[in-house]
Structures are given as structure tokens and as C-alpha cells.
Amino acid sequence: MEIIKTLLSRRRFLQASGTAGAVGAAALGSGGVLTALKPVRAQAASPPTYHATKITKSICHQCPARCGIDVYTTDGRVHAIYGSSEHPISNGKLCPKGPLGTYILYDPDRFKGPMKRTNPQKGRDIDPGFVPISWEEALDTVAGRLNTLRDKGESHRFALCFGRGWGASCAGLLGPFGKLYGSQNVPIGHSSMCSDGSMLSKAATDGNASYSAYDYRNANMLLMFGVGFLEAFRPYNNNMQVWGYIRGERVPKTRITAVDVHLNTTLAGADRALLIKPGTDGALALAIAHVILTEGLWERPFVGDFKDGVNRFKTGQHVDPGTFEEKWVKGLIEWWNIELKDRTPEWAAEITTLYERDILATAREFGSTRPAIALFERGVHAHSNGILNGMAVHSLNALVGSLFAKGGLMYQMGPSYGAMPVKEDDFMDDYAKSGPWKAQPRIDLQGHEDGYLIAKNMLQEVGPNSLAGKPYKLDTVMFYLTNPIWTAPDGRAWEDALKEVFVVDTSPFPGETAMFADLILPDHTYLERLQDAPTYPFQGWPMAQLRVPAIKPLYDTKYFGDTLIEIGKRIKGRTGEYYQALGDSENVIRHLAKGFETDPGDNGVDSFDSWKEKGVWYKKNYKWRQIGGAFFEWDGKGYNTPMTAEQVKKELFKTDSGRFEIRSGKLEHHADWIAAKTGRDKDKLMFPHWEEPQHPGGGDLYMVTPKAAMHAEGRGANLPVAIANFQPVLGGRGTVYIEINPKTARERGIADGDLVRLKSHLGSIEGHCRFFEGCRPDTVVFPMENGHWAMGRWAKGRSPGHCGEITVNQSDRVTGQCSYYTTKVSIERA
């Protein structure tokens, strides 16, 4: 009764003034009340007729998903955003972030044109003294620095770091720029600070360095490890559409088990919620695999079987490899013998703190329900043992045969884009081909023995490495849609690094990195841009969206793609000629669209103009499917064309063996290096296996800082409506709490709502805590999007402060994954 009473009588804004107060105010005639007595305005007889409302088909920018949106503009004012009905991801719907896009356009804190710094001193809370300059001056300044570096043979000291790349007309232009200009540091993506741990786990096992595409609607069970399916997992909007179907309409209802470290909406909505100890998801996956094998639940047509059909997987017992015939997997028996035979639910219960009965029930359900998908993201792999955890979870997909199956998972196909207007290879001068820059390693030591040999990118290392001068110091760095001073762990190192580097930021908004910038070259906001964006991994079949401007730019801003092209035109020699020939970003997009002329989309899009009108090109059939352990290609009518093992290797399992490698050839190739850097056993490091994670920070509680539904890809912090509704489980109305288990709090003399201090050896932050029984006693949880100091007026200084201040910069040495959720902190009353 208390709950319902409290919730339902919660009258927002009715604070000190109760009933009596309200009457009193009316009687006394406080200003607002009297004003209301006179009519507001002559009221129209019928609802007013609007001037023509224009609907522009565009795409959202508030997460990677790329939902199609209908942008409503009346009298030059953008006033509403809804999902596009004709768009395969949004289907007319939106997540809570989508409608807030109008606010992003009209954000009063936006940069309004190019600016340069006049205060040579840089630091947190030091006014940069930005003054407006012309685009000519801005572009000439960047190009001048770049030309000078190139003349000195130091072009590698220019780096361009990017976060949310969208398509060929922005991020796609960066690679050629690096090649022509001569810098291996153009570009450095943020993938290691995103979710490379999952890409590399997949690359190690099935050969695809990519996120997966999923066929959730046909699955009968989803086993989710640390994905925040109903909070942050992309495409969030479509995930919820899926959820409504599989949980509310589908017969049979799809079973869901969700594994995470605190109770969130995904766990609340699941059939089974497993509150696991941070960093131990791999142990759970190993135990599930153990049960699937001992109880004979694996998918024989895909995995293979014992030659005589007798199951020899007995706990603790060695299996003779000669007795088993593997089909599409490699190394199963070796895995069993070296690791899995002892990984019982009882063992995993000890490691994960879960109940043995829950592990067993999960394993049996997952092993006996087809089709089933095991999906995972950062909760699993943002730890020092991330690659092992990721491989262990992904191997479950192999055991139940869900790779490329109906109701399983696959990889995303690219769109039928036309060729770029010109080829960069035709414009390579001698410097580009063999200049002194070629002898240098990347600044982040990606691909280098001293750094991260196998990683894709190591953005989190750029600042610290430049600061240390190892391998060298950067001269100039440019940022596109990334704000590493704030998003990197231990951002203080970045602040020191960027004090001594010429910084160019291209964000339309103020941010922490922008405050260290020497030049601001602001991009349009997304409702003002023409920008292509092939789909993020979705359902596998190809799709390419187009962001179409709803209105002309409000301010003197420039699309990043054009900023880059204009800088390129100012680079001396052949590079400049290439960019002259490229023209501008619209020319690039027009050339991309030429590919649709010969391969029109299902919705009839066959040209630049029709793409712009509809906002999306797609073709709904995925090309390949695994059915009962055999692979087939789509022939226009069905999956009828059988594939050879060679074709499967070329298109699907891109590994040495052409199979799903539980014994990873990719890791085996680098066994010496991995063993040297991680101390792992050379005979075991290529198999998914259990290893205790390393938790830096010096505290006694795990600090986990998830993204919440309202976190709008970097701008959620400055959206008042988002702030008002952030962290609904505990907070809201502008207040965000640190979740703490009451027992943990009481042991430390902390009361519900107390101001507390979280400390790691890097420093401390303060905020109010809230008791939450859905939080593990060994863990504190709060969303990451707080504590900005330069993001805008609403974002400034929001409690409980920024987790990056106390998050240690530790990465998985194999995947390069930045381990955001692995620092341990202590908590005390402030």
C-alpha cells in the first residue's frame, strides 16, 4: 500500500505548497494567479490551421543505431521528430532519446562559427578566450601546420581521432587522407573505448572482426551477458520493438535470461536475472558449455559428434580426440581436455557467486532450446580477461549451432555503394609512398609489440603516449565526434597531453576537449547535415541511410566531411589535387548513390534524389544461411544454393580452418607475444578459459558505470528533459544517485541519501547514494553521464561527478578494450 500511495500521490511541482497553501496563495492573489484571470489570448474558433508542415526523412544521431526519423518543420521551425514508418529499424517508433533531437538543434550552448584560442594557457576551467574567425583563416591555419609538418618529414605527428563515424562522406574520407598526406595516425578510431572486446572475441573465433547482426524475432531463447538490451544496446529502438513482439505477442514467448551486475530493466523484464560478480561472465559461460556437453545438448549437425554416438563428456574425464568428429568447429575436444572438463556449475558458483541451481537451469534451458542466441558486450569483455570471457560466451553460439542460422546471429552486409569520384591511389606522391613517416609506429602503439599488437585502435593511449613522448610527441591533433578528455579513463593525462599539442575540435558543441582546443571548426548539428550512413549491424541484410537536412544551418558551421575536404585542398602537391577532384561531400554522396542505379533498393531507391526523398536504401534478404549444419546461399527465392567449404571460409568463417575456432588460430599466431605480455600458458591461451581479472584502483568495491536509456551519445548531459528523467529506477528530476546495497552502506556507517565520496588511487568524486537492493553488495553502480565541466550550462557539475576521474586506464592486452568496468573503489561518507 505504501508504494502505491507514494507513487500515485507524487505530484510534481507541488512542493511546499499543499492544499492549504494553495488556497492561501489564491486568496492572497500571488502574481501568477491573478495573471491567469484575464484571457490568455483571443482564442481561435477552431484549432489554428498551420502553414504547410514539411516532413524531412532523415536519421537520428543519438546512438549508433541510425533510426529513420520524420522531422517536422513548420514556418522554418523544427518542432517534432517521430520515427519513419517506412524505415526498417525505426518502423515509426523511437526510443526516449529520439524526440529530443529538436532540442539538440536549438541548444543555446552551441558553437556558432569557427573560432580560435587567444589564451595560450590551457587547463580545466581556464577560459580559452575563443574569438570568432573566418572559415578561410581557420582552414588555412590547419593546412599551414600540416604543410609545415610534411615539409619537415614529420607528418606522422598529425593525428585525427574520431568517435562516431557515420559513413563514406565523413569517417570514410579519413583513411585516404592519412595515406595521401602521410600519417598512420589518420585516423585513429575510438573502437577500443567502445566495444572492440566483442569484435576481437568474434575475430578470434569465427574470423569476423565485427559486431553481430541478430535474428531475435525467430529465436526461442536469448541469453544476454552484460548488454543492457533495454537500456543501451544498439539498435535500442528496434530492440524494444523486438521485445514487445517476443515477450508480448509471439507464441511461444521467447525465453530470456539476462546476466548483469545490478538489477536494471532488462533483468527485471527477463525470465531469469543473474546478478553476477563483475568480470566473471566467462566462468558462467564455461560452466554452461560444460553442462551442454556432459548432458549431450550440443547441436550435432553443426558441431559434430562422437563417431559411435556415445557421449564421452564426463566431468573431470579426459576425452580421446580420435573418438570425436568435428564438423564446423575446431578444437572442441582439446578445449574440453584442457579447460572445460572441470568447469562445473559448482565450480562456477564459487567464482560468480551465483547459485549452482541457477547456472544448471540456465545451461539446460539454453542447451535445449533452439534457436538460441548468446549475446554479450562490455559487461563481459571490459576486463583484463575480456578476450577469454568473450570467446567463452561466443562459443556457446557454436555449441547450439546458432551461427548464420534462422533465429541466430550473423554479420552485417555492406551497401551497394558506387565508387568514389576519384581514387586516392592515383594521387600518391613519393612522400606519401615512402616518406620518413613510414618508418614510424602509430602514436597509440596499435599493431606494435610494445603496445597492442592485435588491437584495432587504442585511442585511450594517444594522450598518455604523446605526453610521455613514447613513441613521439604529437604536434597537431584533430577530433571528430569524440571528446577523449572526458570519455577516456583518467582524463587528467589527456589534459596534460593536450596542453602541449595544437588541438582542433570539430564538435558543434562545447565539451571538455574543445576547451583545450586552439581552433574550433564546428560541424552542423545532425538535423542540418547531408550525410550518408550504412547501417550498424542490424539484421544482416544491406541498408544505407541518408541524413537529410531539415533546415538550413542555423549558424556559420560546416559539415565535417567538407571541412576535411577543404583542408585537403590546401595541402600542397598531389594531395591537394585529389581533394580538388573530389569536390565536396555532396559530390561524394552522389557517387555513392550511383551504385543504387544498378542495384535498386526494395523501396525503389535507385538514385541520389530518391535516396534523399526516402532517406534509406535497403535490400531485405541476407545472403547466407546455415540450415542443419549445411550452408546455403539465397538464390532470389530461398536459401537453395549449397555452399562449398571454401565458400563458407571465404564468406562466413574467415578463419584459417574455415570453421568456428574454439582453438583460435588468430591467437595462436601471436602466442609468443600474448604469453610474454599476459603471462598466460602458451598451450592454453588460444582457448576460452578462466582467468581471474585484474582490478586496479586500490578499493574494495567494483565500480560499474553503465549507459542509461536517456544518455544521448554525448549530449544527454545537456538536455534538460533527459536530465529530468535520467536514472528512473532511483533518481530522476535532475538527481542521479550512486546505487549501493544497504548492507554495504551500513557496514560503512552510510545512511540512505548520504553524500558519499568514491575513491580510487587516481582521486575521488562525490555524490549522493541511494540504497538499492538490486545492487550487489560488492559493487557500486552509477550512470556515466555526469560531472561534465564544459558541456553546457545544464551539464555542468552534475552530481555524482565523472567516473572517468577515478577509472584507471587499463586495457585488455589482447583486444585493446578499455576496461571501464573493472576499477575498484572505496566509499566513505563525505
Residues of this chain, 264-303, that bind other proteins according to CB under 8 A: 264-265, 267-269, 275
Q: How far is the CB of 642 from other proteins (least distance, A)?
A: 38
- Kindly tell me which residue out of 141, 237, 280, 513 binds other proteins, with binding defined by CB under 8 A: 237
By C-beta, is 41 or 637 nearer to other proteins? 41
Residues 100-139 that bind other proteins (CB under 8 A): 100, 102-103, 105-106, 108
Contact call for residue 555 and other proteins (CB under 8 A): no
Are the beta carbons of 596 and 612 closer than 8 angstroms? no
9 part of the interface to other proteins, by CB under 8 A: yes
DSSP assignment of 781-798: E--S---BSSS-TTTBT-
Report the nearest approach of other proteins to the CB of residue 216 (Å). 13
Residues 213 and 211: their CA atoms lie apart, in Å, by 7
Question: Which residue lies nearer to other proteins by CB, 86 or 586?
Answer: 86
Q: Which amino acid, 779?
A: T
Residue 722 interacts with other proteins (CB under 8 A): yes or no: yes
Q: How many C-beta atoms surround the C-beta of residue 33 within 10 A?
A: 13
Q: Closest distance between other proteins and the C-beta of residue 790, in Å?
A: 16
Q: Which cell numbers hold the place of 740?
A: 549501493
616 binds other proteins (CB under 8 A): no
Q: How far is the CB of 260 from other proteins (least distance, A)?
A: 12
Number of Cβ within 10 Å of residue 308's Cβ equals 7
Torsion of CA 332, 338, 339, 343, to 10 degrees: 100
Nearer to other proteins, 679 or 728 (CB): 728
Shortest distance, position 749 Cβ to other proteins, whole Å = 20
Query: Which residue from 181, 214, 216, 243 is in contact with other proteins, where contact means CB under 8 A?
Result: 243
Partners of 205 in the beta sheet?
none
Among 159, 333, 709, 750, binds other proteins (CB under 8 A): 709
Contact stretch for other proteins (CB under 8 A) within 26-34, 202-210, 606-614, 688-696: 26-34
Footprint on residues 37-66 left by other proteins (CB under 8 A): 37, 39-41, 43-44, 47-48, 50-51, 53
Q: Between 352 and 819, name the residue whose CB sits nearer to other proteins.
A: 352
In the set 321, 728, 753, 763, which binds other proteins (CB under 8 A)? 728
Using rule CB under 8 A, residue 322 touches other proteins: no
**Please, which residue, 165 or 792, has the CB nearer to other proteins?**
792
Q: Which of residues 767-806 bind other proteins (CB under 8 A)?
A: 772-777, 793-794
Stretch binding other proteins (CB under 8 A), from 481-489, 563-571, 696-704, 720-728: 720-728
Q: Which stretches of 600-694 are DSSP H helices?
A: 608-614, 645-651, 665-669, 671-678
Q: Which of 349, 616, 686, 710 binds other proteins (CB under 8 A)?
A: 710
Residues 6+ apart with CB under 8 A from 702: 261, 277, 278, 279, 695, 776, 778, 779, 780, 821, 822, 823, 824
* Binding residue (CB under 8 A) for other proteins from 124, 314, 733, 829: 733
Find the binder of other proteins among 238, 412, 535, 799 (CB under 8 A): 238
Query: Taking each helix axis from N to C terminus, what angle separates 574-582 and 560-569, rounded to the nearest 10 degrees?
Result: 140
C-beta of residue 69 within 8 angstroms of C-beta of residue 98: yes
Check if the beta carbon of residue 544 is closer than 8 Å to that of residue 618: yes
Q: Considering the complex, what minimum distance in angstroms separates the CB of residue 241 from other proteins? A: 5
CA distance 248 to 256: 13
User: Which residue has cell 593546412?
Assistant: 143
Residue with Cβ nearer other proteins (303 or 605): 605
Q: What is the DSSP letter of 276?
A: P
* Contact call for residue 71 and other proteins (CB under 8 A): no
Q: Which of 77, 318, 438, 650 binds other proteins (CB under 8 A)?
A: 77
Among 159, 398, 592, 723, binds other proteins (CB under 8 A): 723
Q: To which H or E segment does residue 494 belong?
A: helix 491-499
241 binds other proteins (CB under 8 A): yes
Number of residues that bind other proteins (CB under 8 A): 104
Asked if residue 93 binds other proteins (CB under 8 A), the reply is yes
796 contacts 789 by C-beta, under 8 angstroms: yes
Nearest distance from residue 555's CB to other proteins, in Å? Answer: 13
Shortest Cβ 735–other proteins spacing (Å): 8
* Residue written as grid cell 585502435: 457
Q: Does 244 bind other proteins (CB under 8 A)?
A: yes
- Rounded to whole angstroms, what are the CA distances from 629 to 124, 401, 402, 425, 720? 58, 8, 10, 42, 52
How many residues are there in the chain? 830
Candidate residues 87, 97, 524, 558; the one interacting with other proteins per rule CB under 8 A = 97
Q: Does 80 bind other proteins (CB under 8 A)?
A: yes
In angstroms, give the least distance from the CB of 754 to other proteins: 19
Taking the C-alpha atoms of 139, 144, 146 and 150 in order, what is their torsion angle to the nearest 10 degrees? 150
What are the Cα distances from residue 139, in Å, to 150, 504, 566? Answer: 16, 10, 7
Pick the closer one to other proteins by CB: 446 or 718: 718
**By CB under 8 A, residue 36 contacts other proteins:** yes
Strand partners, 781: 704, 739
Query: d(Cα 595, Cα 611) in Å, to the nearest integer?
Result: 11
CB of 711 to other proteins, least distance (A): 12
Instruction: Write out the E strands in 755-817.
Output: 755-760, 763-771, 779-781
Q: Which residues contact 112 (CB under 8 A, 6 or more apart)?
A: 132, 522, 555, 556, 557
Distances (CA, A) of 779 to 148, 353, 726, 760, 772: 51, 13, 20, 14, 11
End-to-end CA distance of the chain: 34
Between 270 and 410, name the residue whose CB sits nearer to other proteins: 270
Cell 539465397, residue located = 634
How many angstroms separate the CA atoms of 357 and 377, rounded? 25
| Shortest spacing between CB 791 and other proteins, in angstroms | 14
- Is 357 a binding residue for other proteins by CB under 8 A? The answer is no
One of 194, 223, 230, 256 touching other proteins (CB under 8 A): 230
Cβ 726 to other proteins shortest distance, Å: 10
Task: Return the range that interacts with other proteins (CB under 8 A); candidates 262-270, 328-336, 593-601, 814-822.
Answer: 262-270
